[in-house]
Structure 1
Amino acid sequence: MVHTCVVAGCRNRRTPGTALSFYRFPRDPERKQRWIAAVNREGWVPNDGSRLCSTHFISGKQVKNPRSPDYVPSLFTPAPLSPEMKEPGSLEILDKQEARVEAANALLFLQGQGSSAVVERGQEEHPEQREQEAAVEESASSSLSSDEDDEEDDESIDCKKGKFAPHTSDAAVNFDNVLKALKKENQTLRESVDKMSLSENSLRNDAEKVKFYTGLPNYFVLETVMWLLAPHMDGMKTVKLSKFQQLLLTLMRLRLDLRNQDLAYRFGVKVGTVTRTVHQMVNIMSSTLVPTAVFWPSRAELRKNLPVALRTSHPDCAVIIDCFMVPFEEPVSRGNQQQQRVVSSSQVGGTSYNVLKYLIGVAPQGVVTFVSRGVLGNVGDKSLAEGCGFLCKLLPGDVVLASRDLDIADSVAARGALFKIAGSYQGEASPPLPDSSSETVSVQRHVQRVLSVVKQRYAMLTGPVESPFTTVSERTSNLSTFDKIVQVACALNNLCISAAPLE
Structure 2
Amino acid sequence: MVHTCVVAGCRNRRTPGTTLSFYRFPRDPARKQRWIAAVNREGWVPNDGSRLCSTHFISGKQVKNPRSPDYVPSVFTAAPLSPEMKEPAAPEMLDKQEARVEAANALLFLQGQGRSSTGEQVHVEHPKEREKEAIAEESASSSLSTDEDYEESVSDSKKGRFPQASGNFDDLLKVLKRENQALRESVEKMSLSENSLRNDAEKVKFYTGLPNFFVFETVMWLLAPHMDVTKNVKLSKFQQLLLTLMRLRLDLRNQDLAYRFGVKVSTVTRTVHRMVNIMSSTLVPTAVFWPSRAELRKNLPAALRTSHPDCAVIIDCFTVPFEEPVSWGNQQQSVVPSSQGVGTSYNVLKYLIGVAPQGVVTFVSRGVLGNVSDKSLAEGCGFLCKLLPGDIVLASCNLDIADSVAARGAQFKIASSYQGETFGGLDGSPLPDSSSETLSVQRHVERVISMVKRRYTMLTGPVETPFTTAPERTSNLSTFDKIVQVACALNNLCISAAPLE
How high is the TM-score relative to the length of structure 2?
0.71
Residue identity opposite 1:64 in structure 2 = R
Larger Rg: 1
Consecutive unaligned residues in structure 1, runs of 5 or more: 1-25, 55-60, 84-102, 112-150
Give the Cα–Cα distance (whole angstroms) in 2 for the partners of residues 451 and 237 of structure 1. 41
Give the Cα–Cα distance (whole angstroms) in 1 for the partners of residues 241 and 317 of structure 2. 29
Shift in alpha-carbon separation, 1:174–1:322, aligned structure 2, 3 A: same
Match status 1:273 vs 2:267: yes
Does the CA-based 8 Å contact 1:345-1:352 persist in structure 2?
no
Aligned match of 1:392: 385
Match status 1:411 vs 2:386: no
Query: How far does the alpha carbon of each residue in 1:246-271 deviate from its partner, in whole angstroms, 9 at most, with x for none?
Result: 10000000001111111111111111
Matches within 5 A, 1:127-138: none
Aligned match of 2:282: 288
Secondary structure of 2:393's counterpart equals strand
Instruction: Select which of 470, 474, 477 maps to 1:476.
Output: 474
Give the Cα–Cα distance (whole angstroms) in 2 for the partners of residues 381 and 362 of structure 1. 17
Give the Cα–Cα distance (whole angstroms) in 2 for the partners of residues 358 and 411 of structure 1. 17
Secondary structure of 1:473's counterpart equals coil
Instruction: Select which of 27, 40, 64 maps to 2:2.
Output: 27
Match status 1:358 vs 2:333: no
Match status 1:39 vs 2:41: no
Instruction: Select which of 195, 203, 209 maps to 2:203.
Output: 209
Aligned match of 2:495: 497
Secondary structure of 2:327's counterpart equals strand
Give the Cα–Cα distance (whole angstroms) in 1 for the partners of residues 265 and 87 of structure 2. 80
Shift in alpha-carbon separation, 1:66–1:174, aligned structure 2, 3 A: closer
Give the Cα–Cα distance (whole angstroms) in 1 for the partners of residues 169 and 91 of structure 2. 37
Give the Cα–Cα distance (whole angstroms) in 1 for the partners of residues 400 and 90 of structure 2. 120
Match status 1:64 vs 2:24: yes
Secondary structure of 1:314's counterpart equals coil
Give the Cα–Cα distance (whole angstroms) in 1 for the partners of residues 88 and 444 of structure 2. 104
Match status 1:74 vs 2:39: yes
Secondary structure of 1:474's counterpart equals coil
Does the CA-based 8 Å contact 1:62-1:73 persist in structure 2?
no
Matches within 5 A, 1:60-459: 63-65=23-25, 68=32, 70=35, 74=39, 156-157=152-153, 163-165=159-161, 168-234=162-228, 238-344=232-338, 351-423=344-416, 424-428=422-426, 429-432=428-431, 438-459=436-457
Give the Cα–Cα distance (whole angstroms) in 2 for the partners of residues 234 and 338 of structure 1. 35
The count of corresponding residues between Structure 1 and Structure 2 is 394
Identity of counterpart residues, as a percentage?
74
Aligned match of 1:133: none
Does the CA-based 8 Å contact 1:347-1:353 persist in structure 2?
no
Give the Cα–Cα distance (whole angstroms) in 1 for the partners of residues 482 and 291 of structure 2. 21
Per-residue deviation, 1:476: 2.0
Give the Cα–Cα distance (whole angstroms) in 2 for the partners of residues 104 and 291 of structure 1. 92
Consecutive unaligned residues in structure 2, runs of 5 or more: 42-55, 60-84, 94-141, 144-148, 417-421
Shift in alpha-carbon separation, 1:108–1:345, aligned structure 2, 3 A: closer
RMSD: 3.6
Per-residue deviation, 1:173: 1.1
Secondary structure of 1:306's counterpart equals coil
Query: How far does the alpha carbon of each residue in 1:320-371 deviate from its partner, in whole angstroms, 9 at most, with x for none?
Result: 00000000001101112221223436799x9520000000000000000000
Shift in alpha-carbon separation, 1:315–1:339, aligned structure 2, 3 A: same
Give the Cα–Cα distance (whole angstroms) in 2 for the partners of residues 456 and 488 of structure 1. 14
Per-residue deviation, 1:157: 4.4
Shift in alpha-carbon separation, 1:211–1:74, aligned structure 2, 3 A: closer
